[in-house]
Amino acid sequence: MLKQRIITALVLAPIAVAAVLLLDTPIFALCLGGVFALGLLEWSRLIGMRLVALRLALVAVAIALMGLVWQYRDRNTLEIALGAGAIWWMLAPLWLTNFNFASEPRKRWLSVKAGAGLLATVPAWSAAILLHGGPERGPMWLLFVVLLVWCADVGAYFAGRKFGRTKLAPRISPGKTIAGVYGALAACAVFALIAGWWLDSTGWGLATFVVLSLVTVLFSIVGDLFESLIKRHSNLKDSGTIFPGHGGVFDRLDSLFAALPVFTAGKLLAGL
């Protein structure tokens, strides 16, 4: 499985990096919106939406919201949308502490989970577009967040495999350990220091950048755990099978969905 995951990652990584660095923001927004819409379609299946019409309706709502945010982006709709996402991820840990919340297959819980899917995708898309279209090194800022999440995954995997004893959330995701969290934070602290230096951050600016990066990593773990919780509710291993060894689109983006709005909101508030 590890070999398969590495091969898939080696194929996907250059495509993702090229898209971030080479595409103009309007084209990038369109492509990313399509990817996120596909992820939300997987999410609709994951939460138990059986009717295809309902699943497509949820995706249509997300696309419409992205379109409105883009249309009125000069009125700070990008900031408002990503702010809503940052607030949502700050509240998400409360759900994680109550495993059985919304676990029953009822219509009202289906609506709650559908709303959670929208709060995961639309704000993350808004944050990505705001970063990518920034006046100074926009694509590089976005690439940093993507690489930060990848770095966290690698650090967590190897630290957890080597030192993992105590489970982080055994009922939600038995494979995750406290050591994995420390490994993710350590790896990302080094990466953030190097990236901050490359971005010409010094002194308190560099310290703020590193702290924000570590906070972002913690919320990326929340994003990963949240999808794992929903998969436990649905008794499904993956959101899809499109990526060999990695599962579906939502499986690959769950951490990034949380990381993007949190990092971007922090960057705006800190004036980085």
Residue 4 vs residue 205, higher pLDDT? 205
**Structure confidence at residue 243 (pLDDT):** 64
| pLDDT beyond 70 at 2 | no
Return the ∠ at Cα 117 (arms to 128 and 92), rounded to 5°: 90
Residue-wise DSSP of 78-146: HHHHHHHHHHHHHHHHHHHT-TTTT-S--HHHHHHHHHHHHHHHHHHHHHHHHHHT-TTTHHHHHHHHH
**Structure confidence at residue 260 (pLDDT):** 97
Q: What is the largest CA-CA distance in the chain?
A: 55
Q: What's the pLDDT tens digit per position in 112-132?
A: 999 999 999 999 999 999 999
Q: What's the pLDDT tens digit per position in 187-242?
A: 999 999 999 888 767 778 899 999 999 999 999 999 999 999 999 998 888 776 66
**Structure confidence at residue 50 (pLDDT):** 86
Question: Which stretch of 23-27, 57-61, 170-174, 223-227 has the lowest confidence by average pLDDT?
Answer: 170-174
What is the percent of the chain with per-residue pLDDT over 70, rounded to a whole number? 96
**Structure confidence at residue 194 (pLDDT):** 92
**Structure confidence at residue 12 (pLDDT):** 84
Q: How many CA atoms lie within 13 A of 90 on its CB side?
A: 12
**Structure confidence at residue 237 (pLDDT):** 80
The Cα 127–Cα 261 span in angstroms is 5
Residue 56 vs residue 203, higher pLDDT? 56
**Structure confidence at residue 246 (pLDDT):** 58
| pLDDT beyond 80 at 244 | no
What is the percent of the chain with per-residue pLDDT over 90, rounded to a whole number? 71
Q: Which residues of 147-158 are buried (b: 16+ CB within 10 A; e: fewer)?
A: bbbbbbbbbbbb
**Structure confidence at residue 205 (pLDDT):** 85
What would the mean pLDDT of 24-30 be, rounded to a whole number?
96
* CB-CB neighbours of 115 under 10 Å: 13
Going by C-alpha positions, the residue among 267, 271, 225 that lies closest to residue 127 is 267
| pLDDT beyond 60 at 245 | no
| Structure tokens that stand for 201 in this block | 């951050």
Give the mean pLDDT of the chain.
91
